[in-house]
């Protein structure tokens, strides 16, 4: 067994120390926002952030939510397995879903401006039975995503520090639960920014180490030469000339299709992404999701091109942790390519960077899942079926209880998966088999007025039955038995994911026209009401001053609908064009030609990845500070005023003055 490069104290220190630090930070920010922004922690604010979050913070949150542990670890694993094609298959196959979701986000804000969850929209259109079906699919998505996050995160923590996997599974959620309780969805936006900023900086460190400063590698040319040598020693079956430097990869393109099909399910069925769309200001939803999707692309592309390929280049070097052996398939599936590469390049410093980066990825995405589950339990289960007239303080209580309960449940579930032998990559490939059959019916709920209740209710269930059948039958036929190993193979996963996503194309028209076409007018979606938080308002703070606590005036609502209608047209054209580029025009000609990258071409490929990451850093790392500069300045001035002026010397109406003068929020998003 390989000795961990870090002591177990590092594991506990980062997992618990940073978790408590973020929790304390959210307590401080919540106090500041209440004092200087008249911001109460109402049920609306906990779940929707006042529906006023601006575009670049939405983009940062989208990047952070979509940057799972798998984004860093699995992408590096496919680079290790398939070569230079793997990072592009991963990045392009998982970006289009975010771009297409921008269109759905606009439609959601148009059709149901007061919704807290997408499931409320389902119930408003179809009623109870369809609502229950989609609650099940939504919760399955949240459970699978969170399990994958904890599986990948705990494997890395154990590998780098020796911390017991069970301890990592139970302790990773602790800090996330704490800061989510204090800040609600606003906590996810604020911490998402910090997490995204940190991850981007660490990827820059890795990239410049591998391609510029490393004494072992130090240039794209050196990496290219070692990849040529690796192809001679262990050529890749199904790759052109057995090379790691080609886009023509048989197994790689199978992964590409699995990636596309599966990730539609994990975006379109995850209430967390709808939560961010709901929280966004109407003007901000489209640019936020487009910027977020394009900014995210660079993270798996450059990270895997750097760390996955450097692992291939370095595994014949004594500095590599497993030398002289290659990484086993189990180690690759567990996500250990990136950690081993980082240790080979930077020693303990690389291990600390990896631990910090994975912690950020796991906790930020987990926070989004906690909020997604809490809103489902609060609005779609408790308020809908148990207490329709629940006051705001009770909704807050249910939301908090849901966050705590889900955190505890997922810690136990992730531990059980570890003992069963289910890895992060297995969960990543399998998620689409379980949830993707709900994608098309969910999308058509907002996009097609003719889909009827029978089609919406039955299609996800029928699709799940078909996908499970295709997955398990293919595994049985190929290997002769059903096991974790046989169901993990590419062909069974391909069959299950594709059937899950596309079987509704058959079921929906048959059921719609067999049981009568609907002619829905979307009026019932518009009637969804906001939570009643009047019982929480206290003192001299009025709900009219709390962002998002009241419905907008009719004139404002009418203007917003016009803007959203225009944005919907732009979203459809933009996402169609970007999808064509990312899925067809860029990768397919390179695949069809069988071109093996020359040294200059590979150098240009790496430079393009680094430049794209600089674009991402400007969009979601620097621009949020610029866009929110007035809010930051106003808040700091208010804090300075508190320190320099005694309370008795202030104007008797200073609280109201502060509420009017410092409305711009520290979170870089509210009304600035």
Query: In this predicted model, what pLDDT tens digit does every residue of 464-480 receive, in sequence order?
Result: 999 999 999 999 999 88
Whole-angstrom distance, CA of residue 241 vs CA of residue 399: 56
pLDDT in tens, 527-583: 876 544 444 444 444 444 444 444 555 546 677 777 777 777 888 888 899 999 999
DSSP of 185-241: HHHHHHHHHHHHHHHHHHHHHHHHIIIII-SSS-SHHHHHHHHHHHHHHSPPTTBGG
Can you give the length of the chain in residues? 672
CB atoms inside a 10 Å sphere around CB 50: 22
Whole-angstrom distance, CA of residue 536 vs CA of residue 553: 22
Q: Which residues contact 52 (CB under 8 A, 6 or more apart)?
A: 279, 281, 547, 548, 669, 670, 671
* C-beta separation of 244 from 312 below 8 A: yes
Comparing CA positions, the residue from 35, 131, 5 lying closest to residue 460 is: 131
- Coil vs helix vs strand at 79: helix
pLDDT of residue 185: 59
Whole-angstrom distance, CA of residue 65 vs CA of residue 671: 24
DSSP of 257-295: HHHHHHHHHHHHT-HHHHHHHHHB-TTTHHHHHHHHHHH
Q: Is the dihedral of CA 211, 213, 218, 219 positive or negative?
A: positive
Decide if pLDDT at 330 tops 80: yes
Q: For the chain, first and last CA: distance in Å?
A: 55
Structure tokens at 282: 């109407």
Q: Is the dihedral of CA 661, 664, 670, 672 positive or negative?
A: positive
Whole-angstrom distance, CA of residue 191 vs CA of residue 650: 34
Specify the higher pLDDT residue, 668 or 152: 152
Comparing CA positions, the residue from 141, 19, 111, 165 lying closest to residue 528 is: 111
Whole-angstrom distance, CA of residue 274 vs CA of residue 294: 18
Whole-angstrom distance, CA of residue 401 vs CA of residue 403: 5
Tally the C-alpha atoms within 13 A of residue 519's C-alpha that lie toward its C-beta: 0
Q: Which residues contact 411 (CB under 8 A, 6 or more apart)?
A: 150, 169, 170, 172, 173
The whole-number average pLDDT for the span 387-402 is: 88
Decide if pLDDT at 507 tops 80: yes
Whole-angstrom distance, CA of residue 487 vs CA of residue 474: 8
Decide if pLDDT at 290 tops 90: no
643 burial via Cβ count (<10 Å: 0-12, 13-18, 19+): exposed
Kindly report the average pLDDT of the chain as a whole number: 85
Whole-angstrom distance, CA of residue 429 vs CA of residue 425: 6
* C-beta separation of 172 from 362 below 8 A: yes
Question: Phi, psi at residue 425, to the nearest 5°?
Answer: -65, -35
Whole-angstrom distance, CA of residue 564 vs CA of residue 522: 15
Radius of gyration of the chain (CA): 25
Structure tokens at 316: 């014949």
DSSP classification of residue 536: T
* C-beta separation of 49 from 373 below 8 A: no
Decide if pLDDT at 225 tops 60: yes
C-alpha distances (whole Å) from 334 to each of 113, 317, 593 are 42, 22, 33
pLDDT of residue 308: 96
Structure tokens at 564: 């959203």
Q: Which residues contact 51 (CB under 8 A, 6 or more apart)?
A: 278, 279, 280, 281, 547, 548
Structure tokens at 649: 């010397």
* C-beta separation of 176 from 404 below 8 A: no
pLDDT of residue 189: 67
Q: Is the pTM of this model over 0.75?
A: yes
Specify the higher pLDDT residue, 269 or 288: 269
C-alpha distances (whole Å) from 358 to each of 58, 198, 612 are 21, 10, 21
Encode 454-490: b = buried (16+ Cβ within 10 Å), e = exposed: bbbbbbbebbbebbbebbbebbeeeeeeeeeebbbeb
The whole-number average pLDDT for the span 142-153 is: 94
Whole-angstrom distance, CA of residue 509 vs CA of residue 513: 6
Decide if pLDDT at 672 tops 80: no
DSSP classification of residue 483: S
Tell me which residue has tokens 């059921």. 511
Question: Any idea what the Cα angle at residue 416 is, between residues 492 and 136, rounded to 5°?
Answer: 65
pLDDT of residue 530: 54
Confidence of residue 338 (pLDDT cuts 50, 70, 90): very high
Whole-angstrom distance, CA of residue 476 vs CA of residue 491: 11
Whole-angstrom distance, CA of residue 118 vs CA of residue 116: 7
Q: Which of 234-238, 410-414, 621-625 has the lowest mean pLDDT?
A: 621-625
Structural domains of the chain, with CATH: 8-33+49-524+560-627 (1.20.1730.10)
Beta-bridge mates of residue 246: 596
pLDDT in tens, 343-365: 999 999 999 999 999 998 898 88
Decide if pLDDT at 446 tops 50: yes
For the chain, what percent of residues have pLDDT higher than 90? 56
Q: Which helix (H) or strand (E) holds 566?
A: helix 554-580
CB atoms inside a 10 Å sphere around CB 66: 30
pLDDT in tens, 181-221: 876 655 566 777 888 899 999 999 999 999 999 999 999 99
pLDDT of residue 658: 45
């Amino acid at each position: 067994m390989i000795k961990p490069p870090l002591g177990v104290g590092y594991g506990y220190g980062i997992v618990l120390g940073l978790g408590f630090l973020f929790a304390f930070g959210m307590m401080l920010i919540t106090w500041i926002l209440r004092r200087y922004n008249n911001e109460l922690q109402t049920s609306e604010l906990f779940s929707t952030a006042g529906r006023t979050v601006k575009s670049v913070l939405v983009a940062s949150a989208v990047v952070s939510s979509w940057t799972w542990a798998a984004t860093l670890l699995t992408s590096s694993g496919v680079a290790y397995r398939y070569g230079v094609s793997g990072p592009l298959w991963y990045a392009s196959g998982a970006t289009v879903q975010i771009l297409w979701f921008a269109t759905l986000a606009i439609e959601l804000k148009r059709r149901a401006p007061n919704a807290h969850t997408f499931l409320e929209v389902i119930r408003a259109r179809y009623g109870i039975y369809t609502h229950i079906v989609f609650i099940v699919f939504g919760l399955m998505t949240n459970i699978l995503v969170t399990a994958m996050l904890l599986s990948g995160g705990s494997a890395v923590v154990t590998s780098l520090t020796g911390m017991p996997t069970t301890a990592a599974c139970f302790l990773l959620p602790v800090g996330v639960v704490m800061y989510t309780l204090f800040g609600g969805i606003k906590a996810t936006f604020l911490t998402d920014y910090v997490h995204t900023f940190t991850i981007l900086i660490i990827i820059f460190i890795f990239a410049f180490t591998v391609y510029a400063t490393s004494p072992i590698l130090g240039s794209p040319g050196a990496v290219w030469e070692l990849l040529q040598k690796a192809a001679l020693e262990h050529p890749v079956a199904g790759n052109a000339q057995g090379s790691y430097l080609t886009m023509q990869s048989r197994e790689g393109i199978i992964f590409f299709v699995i990636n596309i099909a599966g990730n539609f399910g994990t975006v379109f069925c995850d209430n967390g992404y709808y939560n961010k769309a709901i929280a966004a200001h109407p003007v901000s939803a489209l640019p936020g999701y487009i910027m977020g999707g394009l900014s995210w692309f660079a993270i798996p592309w450059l990270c895997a091109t750097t760390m996955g390929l450097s692992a291939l280049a370095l595994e014949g070097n004594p500095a590599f942790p497993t030398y002289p052996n290659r990484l086993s398939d189990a180690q690759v599936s567990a996500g250990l390519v990136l950690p081993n590469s980082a240790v080979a390049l930077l020693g303990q410093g690389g291990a600390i960077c990896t631990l910090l980066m994975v912690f950020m990825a796991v906790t930020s995405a987990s926070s989004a899942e906690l909020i997604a589950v809490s809103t489902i339990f609060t609005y779609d289960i408790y308020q809908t079926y148990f207490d329709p007239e629940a006051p705001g303080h009770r909704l807050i209580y249910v939301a908090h209880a849901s966050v705590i309960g889900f955190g505890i449940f997922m810690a136990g579930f992730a531990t059980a998966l570890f003992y069963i032998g289910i890895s992060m990559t297995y969960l990543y490939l399998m998620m689409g088999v379980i949830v993707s059959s709900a994608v098309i019916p969910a999308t058509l709920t907002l996009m097609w007025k003719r889909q009827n209740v029978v089609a919406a209710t039955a299609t996800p269930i029928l699709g799940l039955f078909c996908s499970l059948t295709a997955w398990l039958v293919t595994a049985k036929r190929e290997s002769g038995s059903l096991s974790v190993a046989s169901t993990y193979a590419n062909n069974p996963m391909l069959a299950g994911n594709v059937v899950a996503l596309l079987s509704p194309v058959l079921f929906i028209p048959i059921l719609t026209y067999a049981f009568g076409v609907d002619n829905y007018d979307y009026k019932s979606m518009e009637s969804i009401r906001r939570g009643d938080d009047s019982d929480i308002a206290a003192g001299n703070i009025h709900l009219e001053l709390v962002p998002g606590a009241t419905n907008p005036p009719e004139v404002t609502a009418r203007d917003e609908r016009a803007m959203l209608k225009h944005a919907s047209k732009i979203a459809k054209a933009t996402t169609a064009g970007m999808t064509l580029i990312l899925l067809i025009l860029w990768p397919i000609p390179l695949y069809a030609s069988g071109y093996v990258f020359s040294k200059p071409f590979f150098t240009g490929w790496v430079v393009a990845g680094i430049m794209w990451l600089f674009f991402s850093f400007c969009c979601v790392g620097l621009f949020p500070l610029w866009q929110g500069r007035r809010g930051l300045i106003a808040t700091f001035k208010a804090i300075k005023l508190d320190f320099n002026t005694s309370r008795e010397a202030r104007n008797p109406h200073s609280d109201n003055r502060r509420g009017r003068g410092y409305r711009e929020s520290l979170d870089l998003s509210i009304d600035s």
